[in-house]
Structure 1
Amino acid sequence: MHKVTALYFLISLLFITSFRGYAQSPVREKPNIVFILADDLGWKDIGFQGNEVYETPNLDRLASEGLVFTQAYMMPTCSPSRASLMSGMYPPSTGIYTVDAFAGTPEHMKKLETIKSAKVLDSGITTIAEMLKPEGYQNATIGKWHLGKDPLTQGFDYNIGGSLIGSPASYFYPYKGKNNSSHDVDIAGGTEGEYLTERLANEAVRMIEKMKDKPFFLYLPFYSVHVPLQAREDKITYFSKKITQKQFNPIYAAMISSLDEAVGKVIKAVEENGLAENTMIIFVSDNGGQKICTSNEPLRGQKGNIYEGGIRVPMVVKFPGVTPKSGTCEVPVTVVDFFPTIAELAHSQKHFERLDGLSLVPLLKGKKSKAINDRAIFWHLPGYNGNGKANANIWQSPCSAIRQGDWKLIEFFEDGHLELYNLKDDISETTNLVTAYPSISQKLLKKLKNWQETSNAPIPNRK
């Protein structure tokens, strides 16, 4: 009898202990999401990507504690990337293909009647913030919006510094140019000499403290490291002494250093508020770097190009208990994947008629996904990307592209010529293999044409 009683007591004790252990585990039903977006930061501009010139200790630490995606993709310029990020849809569904400043190529340089790009994300398109709101999330955006005048109309509860502008008139307070510049950043209450990147980080810290008691989505799209090249004098002095290579700019290096410190400040705020275990931090750039600022080697091209230098970007995700530490994922992923990933993590019950991306949750957990591995990803630019001046340089003529596996095919609309690259063997896209592998070329072209048709992608006509 005593043995039975003792056994019953032991089983009860184990049950209670197990229940308590479960009850005290971190709540992961609705994780906080901190999405940090850099502007024009190149794939090779960070230490964890092998850069030994710029200094990014905070981002390197984030990479050591999370999962680095070595083949992450965006659109060639900022507005299309941001529209696809917020909607989970490719440009043919958002209507945003390029940026105004790059669309003003003189008519005499155009061979095609190009498709006009929208400037504003249509109010009928559901954003990540609007998807999260019914799930009980608070939504804040701090920094560059570039998809309309006011993100508060598209699901965000708080907006600091976000409007239609794509770059600041000045990185120093009051962040304005002369005579009410169209690039003025509207943030009040600063002090003379205050640096914009630091100010946005400080606002993010305050917002984390404000929203910490409920699930939140903090979208932090920094203006850095977009031109104008402006940085703190002490950092410029430091990097001017350090950098001797012509392809690296000391001011740009100083801007990256400030960006890195800002990221570190935000990560620290997450940790000090006791939120680290249930917060996913994503860091990524909106497109590739500009050659006037940095070197994208070994990648070909730059911001605005359909080549790897324009679309492949640095990306790291940290989600304790989900992503492995110091992990690396070599599976190609793309900007439209963020929406379905966040929707799955937030357990969104809303049905979306069209989402072009796939949830990356299996990859975050270190699992293989045949669906992600086998799928094709796409780009579509039915206009010209250039500097928009009378003596314009055309960075990219109208084109469409597809990547599947190691292969990437580009279709140029001006003359119909194709370029095929094996990115595993030729990351620099130096050798066009279209004639060497005609069957692969035609197979990919057929898939690209089918995608253009099913997504109603507009094709420019000859003039």
Structure 2
Amino acid sequence: MTQKLIIILLVFLTGAQCGLSAWERPNVILIISDDHAFDDYGFMGSEQVNTPVLDKLANESLTYTRGYTMPVCSPTLASLLTGRLPHEHGITGNDLAGWQEIGGRYGNQYRTELQRRILDNPLILPEALSEAGYLTFQTGKIWNGTYKDMGFTHGMTKKGTRHGDEGLKIGRETMQPIFDFIEMAEQKNKPFFIWHAPLLPHDPHNPPERLLKKYRGKGPTPAAEKYRACVEWLDESTGELEDYLVANQHKENTVILYLADNGWNAEKGYKGQRAKMSPYEDGTRTPILIRWPGKVKAEMDGSTLAHVTDITRTILDITGVPVPKELPGLNLMDRSAMKNRETVFVEAYTHDIADLSNPAESLFANVVIHDWWKLILPGPATAKRAFATAPQGIELYDLKKDPYEKVNLADQHPKVVEQLKKLQLEHWNPKP
């Protein structure tokens, strides 16, 4: 029996166990926003940004407001692709050290090693879904290869340079490629998976004037106003997708999952601190949503810990694809398991990867979030980017009382520090 036939048989059996016909599996769309602060949504309490579509999506979803991801994009996307943490999947930064000399800013010669490293993982999500009978489509950012390299059946990124080349048109210039793909999948009577990772609200912060004029003169800086208009631009393009699903009767049988790849500081941008590329809440926290009409009860959960690796596990379970035993994530729909979880981990690394076989070489902070406690441990590396804030020592925060980490309690709670350090040591096990 061939490996592919075995996978199809396992998918059929798993789907049957979940009460789903293997041939009537739901469609799945994963939306990944980019450089988006965790509190820059109306449903997260913001009065500065206008996000009616995302607010409605959150209200129709099981929404975990305490989601965590890595503080920079490529490691986060690699975690979504593999279901693993950076010290396991090997992509700890955006580029290899010396990348400017090796391949230039938009050259791809140096990405071969990175591509080889990520494809060495036991799971690549789009490849597994494609092999299981889904039509799979890539848009937006992907890093370290083309859509074909990552196992998508269709996609927009065809050169494999930094970010995602032609894929970056999605959401900014057009949504039509997604609509065309869905129409094709419908004609072929196939379930579909869409990786939708628009370069929004990521820079360039060049929103249309019709959006920018809503924010002009209302922000702390002109740069913040442009960023906030880009948040609404993301919301608007998400609305185009939602309208298409409703108009073409796909909403009921399409699961939407949402998260941001990392955070942002609207006021200070790349001159800011404790946000992008940093282990603090503004860099690592994100709401995580799952909407499945009629299957998942809508609820706003403000206490349970969710994690980027949960997205991958959830998609595998939804589609009936077998889950590799080594994946750390939980199924977002398993409310009991999610509520019983006490701890999640975050890893902050330098922008450039010092050594693909030794993650610790690039590590400048390890993070343990245990219930409402957050421990930040300094790593051996130095954060070389101006906006990548590294801890100066051990830091402990009570996130329930201090959600923006203003008061370091490490000296006051040495037992808690030791307890969380032990959890970190048990978790940290780099694999070459």
Counterpart-to-counterpart distance in 2, 1:159 and 1:307: 34
Work out whether 1:360 is the aligned partner of 2:332: yes
Counterpart-to-counterpart distance in 1, 2:91 and 2:397: 27
Give the CA deviation at 1:237: 3.0
Work out whether 1:139 is the aligned partner of 2:157: no
Instruction: List aligned pairs for 1:8-407, cutoff 5 A.
Output: 30-100=25-95, 119-120=114-115, 122-125=118-121, 126-146=123-143, 148-161=144-157, 164-166=160-162, 185-186=165-166, 197-212=171-186, 213-240=189-216, 243-246=218-221, 249-291=224-266, 301-325=274-298, 327-348=300-321, 350=322, 352-363=324-335, 368-369=336-337, 373-381=340-348, 383-385=349-351, 398-407=364-373
Give the CA deviation at 1:326: 5.2
Contact 1:209 1:273 in 2 (8 A): no
Counterpart-to-counterpart distance in 2, 1:50 and 1:247: 22
Give the CA deviation at 1:149: 2.5
Contact 2:397 2:409 in 1 (8 A): yes
Counterpart-to-counterpart distance in 1, 2:62 and 2:190: 26
Kindly report the root-mean-square deviation, in angstroms, between the aligned alpha carbons of the 2 structures.
Answer: 3.2
User: 1:240 aligns to what SS in structure 2?
Assistant: coil
TM-score, scaled relative to structure 1: 0.74
User: 1:42 aligns to what SS in structure 2?
Assistant: coil
Contact 1:144 1:165 in 2 (8 A): no
User: 1:314 aligns to what SS in structure 2?
Assistant: strand
Counterpart-to-counterpart distance in 2, 1:306 and 1:155: 31
Q: Which amino acid in 2 is paired with 1:315?
A: I
Distance change in 2, residues 1:439/1:61 (3 Å): same
Partner deviation per Cα, 1:208-248 (whole Å, 9 max, x = no partner): 2221331111110001111122122332234315x243387
Higher deviation after alignment, 311-320 or 75-84 = 311-320
Partner of 2:393: 417
Distance change in 2, residues 1:54/1:271 (3 Å): same
Counterpart-to-counterpart distance in 1, 2:287 and 2:49: 14
User: 2:213 aligns to what SS in structure 1?
Assistant: helix
Q: Which amino acid in 1 is paired with 2:374?
A: K
Q: Which amino acid in 2 is paired with 1:63?
A: A
Equivalent of residue 419 in structure 2, options 443, 459, 462? 443
Q: Which amino acid in 2 is paired with 1:407?
A: W
Contact 1:85 1:339 in 2 (8 A): yes
Partner of 2:408: 432
Partner of 1:20: none
Partner deviation per Cα, 1:13-64 (whole Å, 9 max, x = no partner): xxxxxxxxxxxx9979511101111110111111111112221111111122
Instruction: Give aligned-pair identity as a percent.
Output: 27
Give the CA deviation at 1:282: 1.3
Counterpart-to-counterpart distance in 1, 2:351 and 2:140: 24
Distance change in 2, residues 1:145/1:430 (3 Å): same
> Which structure would you say has the larger Rg?
1
User: 1:70 aligns to what SS in structure 2?
Assistant: strand
**Unpaired stretches in structure 2, ≥5 consecutive residues:** 1-18, 101-112, 353-361, 381-390
Partner deviation per Cα, 1:244-302 (whole Å, 9 max, x = no partner): 4338722222222221111011111112221211111112110001345669x9xx821
